Amino acid sequence: MKLTIRKVAVSLMFAGALAFCLSAAAQQTASSATQQLQSYDQSREVSLVGTVVKYDPASSVAPVGAHVLIQSGSGQVDVHLGNSKVLQASHLELNAGDSVRIIGENLAAGNGTIFAARIVQKGTQAVAVRSSKGFPLTPASSLSQNQKEALGGVR
Binding site for another protein (CB under 8 A): 15-16, 33-41, 56-58, 60-66, 80, 82-85, 88-89, 91, 107, 109-110, 114, 116, 130-143, 146-148, 150-155
CB of 59 to another protein, least distance (A): 8
Q: Are strands 75-82 and 18-19 parallel, antiparallel or unpaired?
A: unpaired
Q: Whose CA is closest to 24, among 82, 87, 67, 57? A: 67
Query: Measuring CA to CA, how many Å separate 73 from each of 8, 10, 37?
Result: 17, 12, 29
Of residues 99 and 138, the one with the C-beta less far from another protein: 138
The nearest distance, CB 119 to another protein, in angstroms, is: 15
Number of C-beta neighbours around residue 84 at 10 A = 19
Pick the closer one to another protein by CB: 101 or 130: 130
Compare residues 75 and 139 and give the one whose CB is closer to another protein: 139
Q: Is 82 left (phi over 0), alpha (psi -120 to 50) or beta?
A: left
Strands 18-19 and 14-15: antiparallel
Min dist. Cβ of residue 73 to another protein (A): 26
Min CB(47)–another protein separation in Å:
19
